[in-house]
Amino acid sequence: MDIISTKEILLDAKKNRYAVPAFNIHNLETMQAVLEGACEMKSPVIIAATPGTVDYAGMDYLVAMARVGAKKHNIPVALHLDHCSDINFLEECIGAGFKSVMIDASLKQYEDNIKVTRDVVEFAHKQGVTVEAELGTVGGQEDERNVDAAKALLTVPDMALDFVKKTNIDSLAIAIGTAHGLYKLKPKLDFERLANIRKIIDIPLVLHGASGVSPEDTRKAIELGICKVNIATELKIPFADSIKEYFLENPMANDPRKYLTPGKNAIKQVVMNKIEICGSKNKA
């Protein structure tokens, strides 16, 4: 099986009222851990990479690794470019083999967001690539994108409907109270807003900044229409903590195969837990 776009797996999630988790990876080890966890749970999975990760790991390397992983594990695997605001870079990723992209022009004025997003959709759809966009502004930091919580804007339902009609996007990331990175206080999700958006919009909805959102709130968001749940910080922290712990116990260690393995195992456990919460187990 080759890597695929997110279109069919998200439409199935929408139809059957579950969500597909999108896990932000950074290298071979983190991708392996995500794929192994998804395979064990028999779940479709979205491998997400920010532009910073693509620069770090290499565009061609990421595509090649994802293709090997999809073939090896024989589950639906989508490779998704996350939070990209550079159209030229986005087009390069599509050329390299990415089947799913997110154009993030959410920090621009509304009409500019529409224009940029529409242009990306026209290009991507010709290549058989699905497009996610964001309306409203999710706070916190994701890669080099940093939005102060006070400046975060929640998605307006009627504006979201207009945006979807004018851009022809495949999925929409909405702002309902989550944030990227670590939460200082328990996030308070606007479920009424989510329900109102779901009533008038027919495409899959995406929840960004889901790390730190309680299982109960995540499940409720999925019940109300979320079809894709993004996880990044909740992978990075246990990966780093497990490696730090290994070095505390083995201060003279120098073999990456030894000290990276605990990190991989920690990520795999998080992946399996998130798949259980999202309800995508046995949906591959």
> Which residues sit in the known binding site?
83, 104, 134, 180-181, 208-211, 230-233
Q: How far apart are CA 24 and CA 22, in angstroms?
A: 7
Using DSSP's 3-state secondary structure scheme, residue 284 falls into: coil
Token pair 């990276």: residue: 260
Q: Which of 12, 55, 82, 162 is catalytic?
A: 82
Q: What residues pair up with 205 in beta bridges, in sequence order?
A: 172, 226
In whole angstroms, give the CA distance from residue 276 to residue 217. 14
Q: Specify binding-site residues for Zn(2+).
A: 83, 104, 134, 180, 208
Check: CB of residue 204 under 8 Å from CB of residue 16. Answer: no
In angstroms, the CA 29 to CA 11 distance is: 29
Q: Which residue in this structure is represented by tokens 């730090």? A: 244
Handedness of CA 261, 212, 197, 160 (dihedral sign): negative
Contact in structure between 131 and 93 (CB atoms under 8 Å)? no
User: What is the secondary structure of 26-39 as a DSSP string?
Assistant: -SHHHHHHHHHHHH
Binding residue positions for dihydroxyacetone phosphate: 181, 209-211, 230-233
What are the CA-CA distances from residue 267 to residues 5, 232, 242, 246 (Å)?
24, 10, 9, 15
Determine whether 55 is an active site residue: no
Cβ atoms of 230 and 278 closer than 8 Å: no
Amino acid identity of 254?
N
Active site residues: 82
